[in-house]
Amino acid sequence: MEFHTQQIAKKKRNDIANTVVSHTINHLPDDVMVDILCRLPTKQLSTTACVSKTWFRLIVASCFPKIATGISYLGLILRVETILQHPRVTFCKTDSMRVHRFGSAPIPNSCSKILPFKVSAKSLIDCCNGLLLFCHRNKAETKSLYYYHVLNSVTKQCVTVPKPGKTALNMYAALAYEPCESSYYKIVRFQGLRCLNIYSSETKKWKTVKFHLDSHVTEAQWLEQSLYFKGAIYRISMSGHLLRFVVDEEVSVNNQAQAIDLPEIAKRCPRGCVGLNNDQIHFAVYDKPDLCIWVLEHQLFRSNIHTFKWNLKCRFSCTRIHTMENKYCVLPMAFHPYTDSVYVGTSSQWGSSLFCLKPSSEAPYYEGRVREYHKAISYIDGHLNWDHVFAYPMLQSYVPFASGFAMTTHPDGMFLP
């Protein structure tokens, strides 16, 4: 009897203590709560988000974006649409001083172990701030429809998103994801030349927005590669424009898309490259014998109308890179996200190579032209047509993305939306 009385008394004391602790924590200011929760390891923070909807919203909206700063750069994912008639996806670790043979691909191989299919050049369509976007058709189904798959290879999150409507067409799509601003992502699907289908992982719904561009822009080819920056998707049009599509808000049809004139050199040269470097949009194009790089500067914002201007950043002299004559054999592929480096694909009589160019400490040849410091980081047996190669800077995000207000447990222990 005495033992039973002691147990009841102990239980009451614990209940009182838990009530006091719960009352104290729930009544702390949000900024104090965020500071406390951000001290937890990422995996434990994901687990804590399952305590309640209030904590889930707080962690997803404030904690994850706060700890997502400083995403590390791994290297380049290369999608090769044709190389000796064998399309492939490979990974190149660009920070190594060794020359790596083209085709060693640990990241695509690890992705294939998580996805319900094998990664191929046809399935990979975009890469954005640590997330990969795939499109795959399940041939086992009678209607054989395409599905989108969003993957974080670090947290092993993989989410399947059905395409809008019942169409079996595989249209180009892009990812919109900035973990420093939001834990939610968007899939932006280009439905023809007049509409965007936008999927939000927060609402788990598709919506359609219309846009308008001039006919000479829509009639030209658009490169199936894009970048996401400050609420907009950017794509290069072979009409000599950089296309900007607003995806984070719905504005008027005329302001939903905008064609920004590329520098004049780009209109007489082969394919250029657009990318992010130190939170600025850069554009590069080869104008023999120089590689020209511009920075896009925002000039004016008034009544939902943005105006932009290109400023020439530098001209790399590429005379020390041996290339084949009379061919587009120096092609800019991608920008390093954090350093003043650009990656170019080249072809010579010995084969094809991937080079990293960055400003040299040596004196420039003359004002406006910089001597390049270059190193070969990958080589390919045989000649590769770089026009059919797309390079994606691969970032490493340890912060899980969010989807709706529910999280389930992965067998390995990670929490997935």
Q: Tens digit of pLDDT for each residue in 48-73?
A: 777 777 777 777 777 777 777 768 88
Asked whether residue 58 falls in the same domain as residue 187, the answer is no
Radius of gyration of the chain (CA): 25
Asked whether residue 45 falls in the same domain as residue 93, the answer is no
Q: Longest C-alpha distance within the chain, in Å?
A: 99
In a domain, 416, yes or no: no
At residue 167, the pLDDT reads: 61
Which ranges of 27-146 does DSSP label H, i.e. alpha helix?
30-37, 42-48, 53-58, 64-67, 106-114
User: Which class for 163: exposed (0-12), middle (13-18), buried (19 or more C-beta within 10 A)?
Assistant: buried
Asked whether residue 250 falls in the same domain as residue 316, the answer is yes
Please give the backbone phi and psi of residue 93, each rounded to the nearest 5 degrees, phi first: -80, 105
Asked whether residue 311 falls in the same domain as residue 365, the answer is yes
Last residue in a domain, options 13, 42, 66:
66
In a domain, 229, yes or no: yes
Last residue in a domain, options 66, 82, 99:
66
Residue 50 to residues 44, 159, 188, 237, Cα–Cα distance (Å): 10, 18, 29, 44
Asked whether residue 38 falls in the same domain as residue 138, the answer is no
Reply yes or no: is the peptide bond before residue 106 cis, omega within 30 of 0. Answer: no
In a domain, 409, yes or no: no
- The two tokens of residue 307 are 């105006």
In a domain, 415, yes or no: no
Asked whether residue 81 falls in the same domain as residue 14, the answer is no
The rounded distance, in Å, linking the Cα atoms of 409 and 392 is 30
CATH assignment at residue 155:
2.120.10.30
At which residue do the structure tokens 């809008």 appear? Answer: 164
In a domain, 137, yes or no: yes
Summarised one tens digit per residue, pLDDT across range 352-411 is: 778 888 776 544 444 445 555 556 556 555 567 787 888 999 998 888 888 755 444 343
Number of domains, the chain: 2
For residue 188, give the nearest of 232, 239, 158, 220 by alpha carbon.
232
Asked whether residue 95 falls in the same domain as residue 179, the answer is yes
Task: Give pTM, 2 decimals.
Answer: 0.82
Asked whether residue 133 falls in the same domain as residue 153, the answer is yes
Asked whether residue 48 falls in the same domain as residue 77, the answer is no
Task: Give me the torsion for CA of 120, 383, 337, 105, rounded to 10°.
Answer: 40
- The two tokens of residue 261 are 């004139």
Residue 44 to residues 87, 118, 246, 270, 413, Cα–Cα distance (Å): 40, 31, 35, 49, 10
Name the residue range of residue 127's domain.
68-396
Asked whether residue 158 falls in the same domain as residue 79, the answer is yes
At which residue do the structure tokens 């939000």 appear? Answer: 200
Asked whether residue 131 falls in the same domain as residue 84, the answer is yes
Q: Which residues of the chain have pLDDT under 70?
A: 1-26, 70, 82-87, 94-106, 140-144, 166-170, 270, 301-304, 319-329, 349-350, 360-383, 404-417
Amino acid making up residue 238: M
